[in-house]
Structure 1
Amino acid sequence: MPITTQGEQVAGVLESLAPDGTPLYPTVAILMPRRSTKTTSIWNVLLGRCYAHPGYKVVTTAQDGIRARNKFREVQRALDAFGFKERGLGKLYWGNGFEAIEWANGSRMWVVPPDAAAFRSEAADCMLFDEAGELDEATSEDLVAGALPLMDTRPMGQVIITGTPSPRRAALLWDTLQEGRDRKKRDVGIVDYSLRDDEPSVLYPDGEDSEPVLNEKLLYRVHPGIGTLTTIKKMRARFAKMTLVKFEAEYFCRFPTDHTVTAINPAKWDTARAEVLPVRPDRVGLAFDVAPDSSAAALVAAWRDEDGRAHIEVIGYRSGVAWLPGAGKAAAIKHRCAVAYDVIGANTNPADTMHRSRVQVTGYNIRHQQGAQQRFVDELDRENLTHYDQTDLNLAAEGANWRNVNEGGRLFGRKASASDVSPIVAAALALWQYDQVPDRQPMKIRTTATR
């Protein structure tokens, strides 16, 4: 199989060792465009390991059992054409569902469907998840929970996750790439040829209303196969026939933006950060929100200054819900205002408790919630919002993702998010509540003049 510069990069990441001789990156995600020898490079490494290290075991899968076997058989056919058996290297097994490559030195490779139970039948030194971008979220969760922990007991174990972007920014390939990009996990390595979100895949040389043209300068940077494995002429032809979203996924390795993307822009959130918490004004909007499992709750205040800039403060974020009615009542009395909440199941009991203690509460439905959350994001994007670097609010903003509702609508996803979004949900609703209530006018005292 041919060796390329990008292939050497793939091998370099896969073969990197820590000082103790174990893999520097026990988990590796590889994202490269079509026609850039991504799969060939990975298989070069794995075949080399099986040849060089007696008894080395590799189990591989793809997006489903049939396509996993088809991928595996491509490699088997290449080995068969090479004379694998005739040279005394081993045997090839072609049985439907029992495909395997067995070396004379005891090494073995076999293929299974993407099912965690299939990986438990026999221990392996390496797991290869090919076309992982095609795995849905449920399958990804199953594999992460059931298959990947099997590598914890193998000092030289390595998991390789590769593919091209899926239609959604979710599941195994996307999540692993994000871990590598964020550098939060030092044991996750990535080979990442992809277009950043702030880079345009097309240009409009004659103005925004003109026909877009391919940004070839960026394509050359992202696609290492142009000039060796494919040509720019072929790329232009593909661009002319494919939708932009499809072309970006296949050849720029950009995951499409959809309603599962991060709801809060990290750069804008950093820009909105202030360190010194001011004295809260008398007039604010108040709102609370409870996590769906009632494990925690948030009480948040929001207001605008004289320039119309929004300000957000978390009054309280604590585990459980028992503390919330008392805290809500104290805040409502102090600021002489109602407390807003989203009329979902987990919020109804604390709202009723507040109501029975003579606190005015205002419930908002899904339509209002959409408006509140869109306004919150708009204020942030316009750099017209300030928050005060509160940890709970930061974590909620960092983990918040969108979820689809009704026809084309969206809300902060409670299940789809990486952390509890209660503080950010309450913040958006508190600002909405503030904007719904007009300023309290100073009382005018009328006097009657007497002679």
Structure 2
Amino acid sequence: MSTGWPAVESKAADLGVRFRWWQKPIGKIILAKRADGKYASTIGGTGLSIPRQVGKTFLVGAIVFALCLLRPKLTVIWTAHRVRTAEETFGKMQAFAGRRRVAPYVEKIVLGSGEEEIAFRNGSRILFGARAKGFGRGFDEVDVLIFDEAQILTDAALDDMIPATNQSRQPESALLLFMGTPPKPADPSEVWMRMREEALSGEDDDTGWVEFGADEDHEFTPLPAPLSEADWKQIAKANPSFPEDTPREAILRMRKKLGSASFCREGAGQYDNADHKLIFPKWPSCQTDEMPDEVTAIGLAVSLGEEFGSICSARVWEDGRVNLGAVERRVYSRSYMVSEAKRIQEERECAVALDEKCPDAGLLPALIEAGVAVQVMTLAHFVETTSDLVQRTKDKRVTHQSTDDLDAAVVAAKWRSVGDGRRVPGRKASSGDIDMLEAGIAALWAAGLDLDPWEAWT
């Protein structure tokens, strides 16, 4: 029936902020109110599925700053999934707070370890932090709750934070914002996708949804070929800040940095409607924020073309679950792999495992010569451990921290039959390198061995 946008736009103008044509209707939607004066989406929140390099962080930041000045003692929680994203956002908001027209309203800026804050003279405050570090739990009387990187958001994290808004002191009730881009197949995106599906169904009148994106059926020219004229038209459709605020160079830089698949999602806002059948189908739901402080075993693997080498760790929790964590993936060097395996084994007193069919046939003898107590995984072990990992993901008896190298290998992996109904992730059959996954399987196998880590398996 109304919207709080005019007041916010006016206050933002006092701060020297002028909004673009496309930002204004989004602001009206975010701050829309029902006849009783409550925010229209206070129950379901408002989702902003908007590509990178468009300006959604600036838009939401300006809205939040204006609200903080309009509403004394307003409490805003701004949380991202990754520490890096939270720090980048805080850096931008810190710079905004330092503007000549804004600074007089700011009392102090708190620089903390993952929990930064901008405090205003009228008692309002904005707190920033990363969900991966547990930020957001335990707060109360929160008036505005912003989930950045909301495509990486689990129900558990949502359950931890939503109750904080139950005691909002604002007459419009709490304001919930979810900002993100189309998720990768391995992202734990159940909250985001459920929100999108319910909003687009037209049956959910408690949720706001804004989505920018290229046509679903448009296929962008793959790298290294240049973008076509049709591609650039789709970029303009997905990104209203192009080309006035976001030049062609910025788009091309993002395309090169992200790669073709991620660019379609994060740069052009395209949702991948393909049927992604992960060979470990419950992998996204096994993500955890728990960080193991010990290592039971590490696995080593080399990509098919010997271009990359991966090290993955396994840690057996007290309750029997096993955590798989990507340690490192880098351009392959046999000498580095050997020295790093030796260093980790000596420091952590852990087992070291390697597939007997490693693409670099010289790695095993090099490890032995260097004095590394290496466990050699046969095909039979590989088959058995892969089957175990499938069952563990179904039962949520495996955990991981959702690192890009390991997630990408899981997404790329495809089955290879080895006869008698047995199967393993195939290096040639997969859509990309799976060396980090192979290293994880080796680590999982070695973690289950009842052996002294210094006793080499033969």
Counterpart residue number, 1:189: 208
Of residues 142, 153, 159, the one that matches 2:156 is 142
CA distance in structure 2 between the aligned counterparts of 1:50 and 1:58, rounded to whole angstroms: 8
| Percent identity of paired positions between Structure 1 and Structure 2 | 16
Are the equivalent residues in 1 in contact too, given 2:115–2:135 (CA < 8 A)?
Answer: no
Contact 1:201 1:218 survives alignment (8 Å): no
Q: Could you tell me how far 1:182 is from its partner in structure 2?
A: 1.8
Structure 1 residue 70 corresponds to structure 2 residue 88: yes
Q: Which runs of 5+ in 1 are unaligned?
A: 205-209, 263-402, 410-451
- Per mean C-alpha deviation after superposition, the further-off stretch among 227-236 and 70-79 is 227-236
Q: TM-score by structure 2 length?
A: 0.50
Of 210-219 and 63-72, more deviation after overlay is shown by 210-219
State which of 254, 265, 268 in structure 2 corresponds to 1:249: 265
Deviation string, structure 1 residues 97-116 (Cα, Å, up to 9, x no partner): 44211111111111233167
* Distance in 1, Cα, partners of 2:221 & 2:89: 36
**Residues 219-267 of structure 1: per-residue CA shift (max 9 Å, x gap):** 22221111221234654565577633122112211133454589xxxxx
Output the CA distance in 1 between the equivalents of 2:270 and 2:214.
Answer: 6
2:127 partner amino acid: W
Q: How many residues align?
A: 259
1:45 is paired with a residue of what secondary structure? helix
Match of 1:96 in 2: 113
1:105-128 CA distance string (max 9 Å, x none):
111111233167733233210111
Q: How do 1:273-422 and structure 2 match up within 5 A?
A: 407-408=414-415
Work out the CA distance in 1 between the residues paired with 2:413 and 2:101: 58
Matching of residue 7 in structure 1 with residue 14 in structure 2:
no
CA RMSD in angstroms comes to 3.4
Task: Answer yes or no: is 1:227 the counterpart of 2:243.
Answer: yes
Are the equivalent residues in 2 in contact too, given 1:194–1:253 (CA < 8 A)? yes
- Show CA shifts across 1:368-419 (max 9, x none): xxxxxxxxxxxxxxxxxxxxxxxxxxxxxxxxxxx9998349xxxxxxxxxx
Q: How does 1:170-209 map to 2 (within 5 A)?
A: 170-197=189-216, 199-202=217-220
* Per-residue deviation, residues 128-185 of structure 1 (Å, max 9, x unmatched): 111223x2xxx51212222224434546112111022221273333332222222232
Deviations 1:82-103 (A, max 9, x none): 3645x25422212334421111
Shift of 1:19: 0.7
Partners of 2:78 and 2:127 within 8 A in 1:
yes
Distance 1:184 1:236 in 2: 39
Runs of 4+ aligned structure 1 residues displaced above 4 Å come to 236-242, 257-262, 403-406
The residue number in structure 1 matching 2:32 is 16
Distance 1:19 1:162, change over 3 A: same
CA change 1:99–1:406 in 2 (3 A) is closer
Alpha-carbon distance change, 142 to 7 in structure 1, aligned in 2, over 3 angstroms: same
Residue in 1 aligned with 2:129?
A: 112
Q: Which residue of 2 aligns with 1:57?
A: 75
* 1:63 CA drift (Å): 1.4
Query: 1:84 touches 1:90 (CA, 8 Å); kept in 2?
Result: no
Query: Which has more radius of gyration?
Result: 1
> Residues 98, 247 of structure 1: CA spacing in aligned structure 2 closer, same or farther, 3 A cutoff?
closer
Structure 2 runs not aligned, ≥5 long: 1-16, 279-409, 417-458
CA distance in 2, matches of 1:405, 1:41: 36
